[in-house]
Structure 1
Amino acid sequence: MKLLNVKAVLDRDKGMQLTGHDAEVMKILGYDEVLKDLDDKSTSYAILSHRWVTEVNYEEMIGLAVMEPRTKDRIRGRSGYMKIIKSCEQAMKDGYTWLWIDTCCIDKRSSAELTEAINSMYRWYRDSQMCYVFLNDVDDWAFPAKQDFSRLGWVNGWPEWFSRGWTLQELIAPRKAEFFNKRWESIGTKEDLASVLEEITRIPESVLRDGRVLRSIASSERPCVAQIMSWAADRKTTRVEDRAYSLLGLFGVNMPMLYGEGPKAFQRLQLEIIRASSDHSILAWSPKGRFGMHKSVLADNPSCFRGYHDIQELEPHRFIAELEHGIRWLGLDAATNLSRLMGLQRGADSSQLFRFDVTNLGIQMSLPVCPQQDQDALSTKYFKAMLPFHDHYGNLVTIDLQCRGHSFCRR
């Protein structure tokens, strides 16, 4: 990763402010390299999380000192440049030599470098010693502890930083984070603000305090897929593909960046999650009032998971017990159906419930289903499939399926 040399950036800025003899001395002495390739594992560095405004890119950052005066003054006048300087000052104050800022530490002219950065970004935030969170629309001395709908630019009564897609991983991944207002005054740490942050984001306080629970996609302590997706349900990104790309690190998966593919990026993300996990909650999403047949069993975007932040996974034996109760309650052919359930309960066939196969024909899996009678289309078969999860009210989470030949679609 490319990191800013904090002292070199500040020395260069100081040199550009000088005139006359002092400026000539600075030119003779020269400036240290402002950006350097280093290893995130062995380097101690701070990192910045922020909402983009008028930023300074990689090319401008490395060439600033040799630009003609008018261009140089225009770049140094941007709010994004002042953010870099203030971040470097804070890093130097805290004893850090190196700092990473996404806007100027990635050469986005290189598609290979951009892809590597996006796939590595969660790790970079996780490996940082400190994350500075800059809230450019907060001018108070204290962190906002309640919604304020009168604030211009705030979203849902909270600072805009909480509504952006990329800042989700930037909140969870770092071990330590400190929040700053628009004047770069500290207004609290992630640890001290964990309960307020949970109220704002619905991310459990345990995850905010220790993001390591997300490291293993198969961990028993890890929140289910639908819960993690729900955290991103109300977040936006400038590019539609970034709604998927910004979630890669949270699910521990990687994939190529294909800007221009649009919503297909989120489909690809879900397929990568399925390949790495047997979590059925990836199917626990709502069609949001859409009627008729849905083209896929997968969701269109994270917003489909809104409201699924509190579903609870059921252990196999408990799930099967609830299915048995459901079969009797529905008055189905208990003798036939219960014989199938007994095999699952003994464990002989239980692996069927936790296996996904992704093929060129679609996703193949086994789910318990109940037939549904449709009076308007007697020739079409409808089913209600049951997932091993409880909703907010303690009911089994179900999805509606429509049979199409040898396959099924969401209804």
Structure 2
Amino acid sequence: MRLIDVKAFLDFDAGKSGLEAQLLVEFGGAKLAEIAYAILSHCWGAPKDEVQYTEMVSLTNMDALARNKIQRRSGYLKIRKSCELALEDHLDWLWVDTCCIDRRGSAELSEAINSMYVWYANSDRCYAFLHDTEALCASHRPRRQVYRWFSRGWTLQELIAPVNVHFLNQKWEYIGDKQGCAPSLSVITRISVDVLEEGLGRTSPSVAQIMSWAADRTTAREEDRAYSMLGLLGVHMPILYGEGKNAFLRLQLEVIRTVNDQSIFAWGSTMNHGWSSSFLADDLSQFRDCSTVENTDRDKFHRILGKSLSKRAFRRVASAEERNRTFAVTNDGIHIWLPLRLHQRSTGSEIFSATLSCYDSQKGSEAMIIFIQKYNSNYSRLFRAPLPADDEGKQPVKFQSVLLPYRKSIHRKVRGPLSPQARCNFS
């Protein structure tokens, strides 16, 4: 982790030191664990307005004219103001993403993205700079306006991970902290007050909940919508810019490999029409209505099922409970055991309801249901309840092994901005 030496930077900025000044210092391992540092959370401006790593390391050696041009940038002002705040808070080191990561190498960028949540979590103070408000209170916002900081993908983990987040307005005036503003922040972000006050470690929100917080957030690059979720979901994966939406698919598959959380299938629960050949979501926005979806532990899942099943059916499901605790990714789909009830049968086709080990706390304690259509040997996800059959209530719940597809036709995926078919539409 590369950090700015706060005193060295401010001395150089004030003209008190020259070529000998070392503005950036790299730490790792046990030494990094001993360092107390501040960290900046902000929205990037245009690249020409920010100070990049190469400019930061050469700042002491460049001629006065070039240095003065950099010092007039808004990005330089953010670094200087953050250093001044860190000095006031008796912190000698500062991390700023614009100038502390050497983006020329993919290996360093990948390491930084996979480490960023931990870096924010381990900071002693996070300065959240709201550049588009003059408000004197972080929770105050004009009607119909959301500050840009709350709409960006990367700032989600920058809000949740650090314990101490101080909000600053465009004049760099302190306007509140995360704990004091938690109720208002919860309204803005859909993140529960418990998570804002205590963090992810103590609250353990479901995968679907975490995804829902990012549903309306945006990033400059499509892949970053997925990459910005790595730390929040506790997973790591290689960074492959150019893969487009495949990044979000890889993210979900990595989550499945890491945790047993069936809420990852709860997306689209409020949709009432259509179907999907994939049981994983195409986009974070499809989790928008999952902010109150909670995971269930084994005993709670049994209690929920016990309310709607006969004693015989419940014993059948409970006896196979160990199978419910694991599911795995294969090249042919996601292998999972689910409690299924048959709703409709026609030539070559069957429609089942599947009970997930999660529930929507806003709607009660009943387990969430998704609908699955089996056509020959292929499964698809339905977003509408089938018409009730005459014998529907008599159909038993069976714990069955299914292979849920997660990838749509790979032959339709063409890398690059436009497929040949799309280009034809513009000719």
Q: TM-score by structure 2 length?
A: 0.82
- Aligned with residue 282 of structure 1, among 260, 264, 271: 264
| 1:384 has 2:350 as partner | no
| 1:210 has 2:198 as partner | yes
| Gap change, CA 1:173 and 1:26, over 3 Å in 2 | closer
Alignment of 1:2-401 (within 5 A): 2-15=2-15, 26-27=17-18, 30-39=19-28, 40-53=32-45, 54-149=49-144, 157-213=145-201, 221-286=203-268, 292-320=274-302, 322-323=304-305, 325-326=307-308, 339-345=312-318, 348-373=319-344, 378-391=347-360, 392-394=362-364, 395-401=366-372
Superposed displacement of residue 388, structure 1: 2.4
Please report the RMSD computed on the Cα atoms of aligned residues, expressed in angstroms: 2.2
In the alignment, the residues of structure 2 paired with residue 26 and residue 259 of structure 1 have an alpha-carbon distance, to the nearest angstrom, of 40
| Paired position in structure 2 for 1:332 | none
Superimposed CA distance per residue, residues 310-369 of structure 1 (whole angstroms, 9 cap, x where no aligned partner): 1233444554454455457xxxxxxxxx64531333xx3211112111111111001112
Superposed displacement of residue 8, structure 1: 1.5
In the alignment, the residues of structure 2 paired with residue 384 and residue 147 of structure 1 have an alpha-carbon distance, to the nearest angstrom, of 45
In the alignment, the residues of structure 2 paired with residue 388 and residue 197 of structure 1 have an alpha-carbon distance, to the nearest angstrom, of 29
| Gap change, CA 1:406 and 1:320, over 3 Å in 2 | farther
Structure 2 unpaired stretches of 5+ = 383-427
| Gap change, CA 1:322 and 1:210, over 3 Å in 2 | closer
- Structure 1 counterpart of 2:168, one-letter code: F
| Paired position in structure 2 for 1:331 | none
In the alignment, the residues of structure 2 paired with residue 325 and residue 46 of structure 1 have an alpha-carbon distance, to the nearest angstrom, of 51
| Gap change, CA 1:74 and 1:378, over 3 Å in 2 | farther
Q: TM-score by structure 1 length?
A: 0.85
- Structure 1 counterpart of 2:26, one-letter code: D
In the alignment, the residues of structure 1 paired with residue 123 and residue 97 of structure 2 have an alpha-carbon distance, to the nearest angstrom, of 13
In the alignment, the residues of structure 2 paired with residue 325 and residue 184 of structure 1 have an alpha-carbon distance, to the nearest angstrom, of 55
- Please give the secondary structure, in 1, of the residue aligned with 2:58: helix
More strand by share: 2
- The alignment-based identity, stated in percent, is 45
- Please give the secondary structure, in 1, of the residue aligned with 2:91: coil
In the alignment, the residues of structure 1 paired with residue 247 and residue 307 of structure 2 have an alpha-carbon distance, to the nearest angstrom, of 40
Structure 1 unpaired stretches of 5+ = 16-24, 150-156, 215-220, 329-337
- Structure 2 counterpart of 1:343, one-letter code: R
Aligned residues: 374
* Contact kept in structure 1, 2:166 and 2:177, CA below 8 Å: yes
* Contact kept in structure 2, 1:12 and 1:31, CA below 8 Å: no
Superposed displacement of residue 170, structure 1: 0.5
Greater mean deviation of Cα atoms: 307-316 or 45-54: 307-316
- Please give the secondary structure, in 2, of the residue aligned with 1:66: coil
